[in-house]
Amino acid sequence: EQQASVLAEDSVSLFKSLGDSTRQLDSLLLGAEAHLRRVKRREANAQRSSLRAWALKAKSLAHLAHGVGGFHGKALLLRARAAKAAGEAAQAYEDAAEAQKLLADASDRCGVASALLLQAEVKAVEGQDSEALSLTTQAQAMLKKSPTLQAEV
């Protein structure tokens, strides 16, 4: 994951200098994903400060991706996941709720379901079980309506 994040960040600089915003956006999203994978894989054996630093780096890259343009919903959802990993529950919920709206506007049912599930995770951690259950139920309903998932079943 470390090598992937370094390569992605190097690519961001390269594509920015070339004026290729599409590939710059892809590199930012890949870098953020790599940092989040690192957090997930190392959460059992890394220091809390290292996990938080990686999560904040992912959040920063996702924030930059949101500013580059295109895939705003995906970038916000990624930033929400990073905020959750960094222990910033309020920011995670806010970003996931905004991502949900953008993904709904883009007719991305799976993305909407992911945003709803992330909001549910935050509510569950906060002890708001009824809200978490409601959000989870909404996500399940969204997934049942997804033509992509129906074709796979």
pLDDT, one tens digit per residue, over 97-142 is 999 999 999 989 999 999 999 999 999 999 999 999 999 999 999 8
- pLDDT tens figures, 41-85: 998 999 999 999 999 999 999 998 888 877 889 999 999 999 999
Look up residue 53 and give its amino acid.
Answer: A
d(CA 77, CA 43) in angstroms, rounded, equals 21
Name the nearest CA neighbour of 26 among 54, 51, 61, 55: 61
Q: What's the N-to-C CA distance of the chain in angstroms?
A: 32
